[in-house]
C-alpha cells in the first residue's frame, strides 16, 4: 500500500490543494485549515450552508495566500494579518482565539459569498484540543472539524461507487445517468492506494513513510459529500443515500460504535488520524504500513 494523494485545505471549506509532499505537524499537515471564514460573531462557515465556498480557490506562495473566484479579481493577502486584531471564534464545541484579517480581505470574501464574513487565522499560540475521549494531553487540531488528518482508501471509494452504480442500474430509466463520485467530495488529507475496500476500518496505528499516526476514530459524513466541488453546488443525495444502506455505525461497529463517539445511524467513511511523531515529511508514493489493528474488526 502507498499514498496516492496528499491534500491540504488552507481555508476551511474552500477548495483544496494537492501536494507532492507535506510536513506533518501536531495540528495536522502544515497550512491545513489554519484559516477559516466566520460571521461577525466568530461562528464558522462551511459548505454545509454555503456550498459555493467550494468554488473559491486558494494558493500559497512565499508572499502569502491568493484567493480566486469566478467574476472577480484575485485577492492577495499575507499569511498573517498585518494588524493583530484578536477575536474569539467558535467551531463546533470549541471556542478559541484567532487573528482577524482587515476590511478589504473580508469585503472580498463577503462579496463572493454574498454573506458578511471575516477571514481568521489560528495563531501558533492557540491550542484547540481534540475531543477529550481521544486526547492524550497534547493532541491539538487546527480548524478541521475535529482531528488533525483524514485518511481514505481508494478501494473504499471504488466500492461506494460500485454500489451506487448498481442501485442506479436497478432503476434504469427512472434516474439520471450515473457519474462516479470523485474523492474530493470527501476532502481527505491522505489517500491510500492498494488497500481493500474499507480495510482502514480495522487499522489502529499506521506508518506513512517515517510518520506514525494513531487511527483514533471513523469519520461520520455530512451533506458536504453531496456538494459538487468543481461547481460549488449541491448535487443530489449521493453518496450519502447509498452509504446509509451499508455504512451506518451500528452496521460497521455494532458493538463498539459508542466508544468511537458515534451515533448508531452515523454514516461512516474514512478515518481520523492523530500524529505520533510530528515534524517529519510525508510524500506521495510513501509506503503505508499497518502497525496495529483494531481487535473488533480484524
Same domain, 82 and 48: yes
Mean pLDDT of 172-184: 73
Distances (CA, A) of 124 to 76, 97, 148: 22, 10, 15
Q: Is the pLDDT of residue 5 over 60?
A: yes
Can you name the residues that pair with 118 across neighbouring β-strands? 38
> In this structure, what CATH number is given to the domain that contains residue 208?
2.40.33
Same domain, 137 and 200: no
Torsion of CA 164, 256, 95, 32, to 10 degrees: -50
Q: Is the pLDDT of residue 174 over 90?
A: no
Tell me which residue has cell 470523485: 182
Q: Does any domain span residue 41?
A: yes
**For residue 177, what pLDDT band results from cuts at 50, 70 and 90?**
low
**For residue 178, what pLDDT band results from cuts at 50, 70 and 90?**
low
Q: Does any domain span residue 298?
A: no
Q: Which of 122, 141, 160 is the last residue of a domain?
A: 141
Same domain, 156 and 116: no
Mean pLDDT of 23-34: 98
Q: Which of 86, 114, 141 is the last residue of a domain?
A: 141
d(CA 267, CA 141): 23
Same domain, 106 and 236: no
Q: Is the pLDDT of residue 51 over 80?
A: yes
Mean pLDDT of 67-74: 95
Q: Is the pLDDT of residue 175 over 70?
A: no
What is the predicted pLDDT for the residue at 65?
Answer: 97
Q: Does any domain span residue 197?
A: yes
Same domain, 160 and 287: yes
- Residues in CB range of 219: below 8 A, 6 or more apart: 150, 268, 269, 270, 271, 272
Q: Is the pLDDT of residue 296 over 80?
A: no
What is the predicted pLDDT for the residue at 84?
Answer: 77
What is the predicted pLDDT for the residue at 172?
Answer: 59
Q: Which of 141, 168, 187 is the last residue of a domain?
A: 141
What is the predicted pLDDT for the residue at 168?
Answer: 74
Mean pLDDT of 242-252: 97
Could you give the number of structural domains in the chain?
A: 2
Same domain, 60 and 156: no
Same domain, 128 and 19: yes
pLDDT, tens digit, 9 for 90 and up, residues 113-171: 999 999 999 999 999 999 999 999 999 999 999 999 999 999 999 999 999 999 876 55
Mean pLDDT of 2-8: 98
Same domain, 166 and 251: yes
Q: Does any domain span residue 258?
A: yes
Q: How deeply is 204 buried, as exposed, middle or buried, from its count of CB atoms within 10 A (0-12, 13-18, 19+)?
A: middle
Q: Does any domain span residue 207?
A: yes
* Angle, vertex CA 28, rays to CA 41 and CA 209, nearest 5: 170
d(CA 39, CA 117): 5
Same domain, 186 and 99: no
Name the phi and psi angles at 68, rounded to 5. Answer: -140, 150
Q: Does any domain span residue 2?
A: no
Q: Does any domain span residue 32?
A: yes
Could you tell me the residue range of the domain that residue 226 belongs to? 149-293
What is the predicted pLDDT for the residue at 176?
Answer: 57
What is the predicted pLDDT for the residue at 224?
Answer: 97
d(CA 85, CA 98): 8
* Eight-state DSSP code of residue 123: -
Same domain, 168 and 272: yes
Distance, CA of 292 to chain centre: 24
Q: Is the pLDDT of residue 252 over 60?
A: yes
Same domain, 126 and 160: no
pTM of the prediction? 0.95
What is the predicted pLDDT for the residue at 46?
Answer: 98
Give the mean pLDDT of the chain: 95
**For residue 173, what pLDDT band results from cuts at 50, 70 and 90?**
low
Same domain, 104 and 158: no
On whether the CB atoms of residues 286 and 6 are closer than 8 A, the answer is no
Q: Does any domain span residue 43?
A: yes
Amino acid at each position: 500500500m502507498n499514498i496516492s494523494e496528499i491534500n491540504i485545505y488552507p481555508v476551511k471549506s474552500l477548495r483544496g490543494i494537492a501536494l507532492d509532499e507535506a510536513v506533518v505537524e501536531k495540528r495536522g499537515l502544515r497550512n491545513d485549515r489554519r484559516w477559516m471564514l466566520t460571521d461577525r460573531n466568530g461562528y464558522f462557515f462551511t459548505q454545509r450552508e454555503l456550498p459555493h465556498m467550494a468554488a473559491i480557490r486558494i494558493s500559497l506562495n512565499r508572499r502569502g495566500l491568493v484567493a480566486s473566484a469566478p467574476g472577480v479579481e484575485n485577492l492577495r493577502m499575507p499569511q498573517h494579518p498585518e494588524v493583530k486584531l484578536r477575536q474569539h471564534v467558535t467551531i463546533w464545541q470549541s471556542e478559541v482565539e484567532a487573528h482577524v484579517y482587515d476590511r478589504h480581505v473580508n469585503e472580498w470574501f463577503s462579496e463572493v459569498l454574498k454573506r458578511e464574513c471575516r477571514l481568521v487565522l489560528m495563531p501558533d499560540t492557540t491550542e484547540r484540543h481534540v475531543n477529550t475521549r481521544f486526547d492524550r494531553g497534547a493532541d491539538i487540531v487546527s480548524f478541521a472539524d475535529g482531528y488533525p488528518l483524514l485518511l481514505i482508501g481508494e478501494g473504499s471509494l471504488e466500492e461506494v461507487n460500485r454500489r451506487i452504480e448498481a442501485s442506479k442500474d436497478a432503476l434504469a430509466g427512472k434516474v439520471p445517468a450515473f457519474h462516479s463520485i470523485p474523492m474530493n467530495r470527501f476532502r481527505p488529507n491522505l489517500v491510500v492506494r492498494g488497500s481493500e475496500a474499507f480495510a482502514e476500518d480495522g487499522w489502529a496505528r499506521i506508518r506513512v513513510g517515517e510518520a506514525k499516526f494513531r487511527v483514533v476514530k471513523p469519520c461520520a459524513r455530512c451533506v458536504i459529500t453531496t456538494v459538487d466541488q468543481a461547481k460549488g453546488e449541491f448535487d443530489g443525495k449521493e453518496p450519502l443515500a447509498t452509504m446509509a444502506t451499508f455504512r451506518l455505525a451500528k452496521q460497521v461497529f455494532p458493538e463498539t460504535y459508542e466508544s468511537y463517539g458515534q451515533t448508531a445511524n452515523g454514516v461512516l467513511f474514512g478515518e481520523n488520524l492523530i500524529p505520533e511523531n510530528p515534524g517529519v515529511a510525508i510524500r506521495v508514493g510513501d509506503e503505508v504500513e499497518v502497525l496495529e489493528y483494531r481487535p473488533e474488526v480484524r
